[in-house]
Structure 1
Amino acid sequence: MTDDNQKQHVTIDIVSDVMCPWCHIGRKRLNDALSELGDDIKTTVHWLPYQLDATLPKEGKNRQQYFIDKFGSLDAHEQIYAPINEAGKAEEIPFRLNDITVSPNTLDAHRLIFWAGRDHGSDMQNKLVNILMQFYFEQGKHIGDDDVLVEAAEHAGMPGEKTRYMLASDESKEVIQNQIETIKSSGVNGVPVFILNKKYALEGAQSKSVIRDTIQEVIKLSESD
């Protein structure tokens, strides 16, 4: 086993939205790529916020109506879901997209993710993001709802009562909104985006092999700096 001091360190900042199915796919492919890289590489993963639709109300919007308003008809519903379901099968992600009844505003989910990282560390943050994505994409839960967010927090190991109290406040709303604005002004207009060592960006839910090879290339570039 390699000593931690001898391992290559890579930071991975992931810009994502928990209502983005390709972010769920990208998360799975990243985890698989990291598993293949083995113990000689140490990674620290941080999640950064992005909102695909910040105009949604706190209570969310009926999913079918959301598709009609955004794309003009429900026909787009099946066209959009088809490649997602296909990719989900390939990655063994049990998508249940038709069980989603509400398109959520994800600002509060991003606040919760931010608190997990700030107060409990990157491992807790990763765990929480995974739970939120599973809740939404695999169980159809409304991840803009406070009860669901508290449930996710408790599943991750965060204190439920404190989480509920914080969600009822405006704590960190401005922080998250400013982060999103900064990210968008940097040129990000879609997610996921993987930022390696604060310097190299990998856009989209790339394949496991592309993610793995890119991380290895970043390590080589870092060694030559």
Structure 2
Amino acid sequence: MGKKHLEDALKKIDHPIEVTYRSFELDPTSERDIKENMYEMLAKKYGMTIEQAKANSQNMVKMAKEAGLDYHLDTLILTNTFDAHRLAVFAKKHGLMKEMTERILHAYFTESKHIGDHNTLTELAVEVGLDRELVTNMLASDEMKVEVRADEQQATAYGINGVPFFLIENKYALNGAQPTEAFVQAIEKVIAENES
């Protein structure tokens, strides 16, 4: 949702802006194959009932819908996202990071695809224009591991402990799925400062 609000804000600003995506795992210790569903995981993590977890999740689904997104948390497949991050960084080398990131997020939140599975990731990569063999070889290796870990270390240095998190010109931070107008105000402030 935060990404969508940022994109909506950028449409309102008549100024060239470069967006860089960085890797951040919410839980690097997660297994690739997780038996729990979203509600069971939330209930366990935050000490709430399944019903409370469902209510909180439905609120997120509602906010996503208001942003023009179609989340399906009932069928979402929890997984370790490290390889998905490696794939996004790999796509960056080929000028397709934005497209790859968008495709992974849509596959995860809307299509309930297993984004920890190498076959799934390969298919998503081919859809955005990456070479199947290159992606297969990258996923089978440790390639892009250093880059992902460097992003995560930088996030730790900044004190980031959740997503979405937006850092504008290393000056202003916006945490969470802020409304579009918050992005517009922050970006316009940075533009004005840079022009003065």
Q: Taking every aligned residue pair, what percent have the same amino acid on both sides?
A: 32
1:112 alignment partner in structure 2: 87
Give yes or no for the alignment of 1:27 onto 2:26.
Answer: no
Deviations 1:11-68 (A, max 9, x none): xxxxxxxxxxxxxx0111111111122xx31111111011111111123443255345
The 8 Å contact of residues 67 and 76 in structure 1, kept in 2 or not, is answered as: no
2:113 is aligned, of 127, 141, 145, to 141
1:61/1:104 contact within 8 Å kept: no
| Aligned pairs for 1:170-189 within 5 A | 170-189=142-161
Q: CA RMSD in A?
A: 1.7
Give the equivalent residue in structure 1 for 2:173.
201
Tell me the number of residue pairs that the alignment of Structure 1 and Structure 2 aligns: 194
Distance change >3 Å, CA 61–CA 164, structure 1 → 2: farther
1:63 aligns with 2:37: yes
Instruction: Give distance in 2, aligned partners of 1:176 and 1:162.
Output: 18
Q: Can you give the 5+ residue segments of structure 2 that lack an aligned partner in the other structure?
A: none
Q: 1:165 aligns with which of 112, 137, 140?
A: 137
Unpaired runs of 5+ residues, structure 1, are: 1-24
What letter matches 1:211 in structure 2?
A: F
Report Cα offsets for 1:113-143 as digits up to 9, x if no partner.
11111x222xx11111111111011111111
Contact 1:95 1:137 in 2 (8 A): yes
Which residue identity lines up with residue 88 of structure 2 in the other structure? I
Instruction: Provide the rounded CA distance (Å) in 2 between the counterparts of 1:177 and 1:125.
Output: 17
Q: Greater share of strand residues, 1 or 2? A: 1
C-alpha deviation, 1:181, in angstroms: 2.3
Q: CA deviation at 1:168?
A: 0.8
The more displaced of 171-180 and 146-155 is 171-180
* Corresponding residue to 1:190 among 147, 162, 165: 162
Structure number with higher relative contact order (C-alpha < 8 Å, ≥ 6 residues apart): 1
